Chain A
Amino acid sequence: MATTATISISSDIAPGFGGISESMTLTQAGSLVDIDSTTGFSIRKLSATGAVDLVTMANELVEPKDSVAAKIYIRNIGYRDVIDKSVGVTIGINAEPIGKLYGGDWLMMPLTCIDADDITVNPENDNTVVIEYVLFYEEA
């Protein structure tokens, strides 16, 4: 029961930069045992500015274990095949802005999953935009 994630980064900014290509298998904290729980793949449509919860940690059907090895993938997929790279959605944790995903941008990051650390999304304008996401975690 494995979950894997591979990243490839290429760039011509710096001469000689050979790029990055790395893979990881999502495991439980401090072990080689595969991570075993997920929210499943979901989408959320947003049509107005203002921060809303993408993931409310206290409301998950299965309580994620706190402060271990959870990971989340989030992508701004635009709306109806229109991806605007000039407009973004700010991703936050517990009201702290982590960064802005412009159209087509994605992130993969670890999470604490403690109840206060909800994942929020805040569109830059009122145009409709869709966010896709999946959370992998350990059950408490």
Chain B
Amino acid sequence: MATTTAAVTLTSDLMSTNMSVSATTTCMKAGTTADGLDQMEYGYVDLPTGDEYDLIATTPTASKASKLYIKNHSTDETYFIAITQNSQAIGKLYGGDWMFIPADFHDAAGDIAITANGGINKICYALFHEGTALVTT
């Protein structure tokens, strides 16, 4: 079984007692405890301003499990990318920010789309999944 693990450590001193949360998960295929995600895409792109682009070119199979990591590697903190799924705004990743979600590519319109602001944003992404609808040539 392929094994993909994702761990997070979150700390904050905004409250009177410092908060520290750590979590680790093994990324499994949908509805199973015995079989891990076994396919992935990994990329690094320069994203110009002006248009919205689909970050994921091939659509992972609907109703399957997927995990998507995106980081904005721009060093200018005023740069950001706006992220949408199926035209619903998720939020903005400013220079240095990352996100990790269980992306739901429920249909062809469910792609993750990103729009750059401020200048050319440098984006790293990784999609862990269990199958895509490949496009024939």
Contacts and interface: CB of A to CB of B under 8 A. Distances in A.
B47 interface: no
Nearest to B106: A97
B106 to A, nearest CB: 6
Given A98-B85, A98-B90, A109-B90, A90 B104 contact: yes
B45 to A, nearest CB: 16
A9 B31 CA distance: 21
A8 B14 contact: no
A13 B14 contact: no
Interface string B62-104: 0001100101000001101001011011111110111111111
A36 B3 contact: no
Interface residues of A, number: 65
A136 to B, nearest CB: 7
B: interface residue count bin: 35 or more
Contacts of A50: none
Contacts of A88: 30, 102
A14 interface: yes
Interface string B29-71: 0111100011110100000000000000000000001100101
Nearest to A96: B88
Nearest to A87: B31
A94 B90 CA distance: 10
Contacts, number: 195
Contacts of A24: 96-98
B108 interface: no
B7 interface: yes
A29 interface: yes
Given A2-B13, A41-B19, A25 B77 contact: no
Interface string A98-122: 1111101111111110000100000
Contacts of B135: none
A96 B86 contact: yes
Contact of B98 (A10, A22, A86): A22
Contact of B91 (A32, A36, A97, A112): A112
Interface centre among A40, A86, A111, A117 (most CB of B within 10 A): A86
A85 B30 CA distance: 9
Interface of B: 2-15, 19, 21, 23-28, 30-33, 37-40, 42, 65-66, 69, 71, 77-78, 80, 83, 85-86, 88-94, 96-104, 106, 126, 128
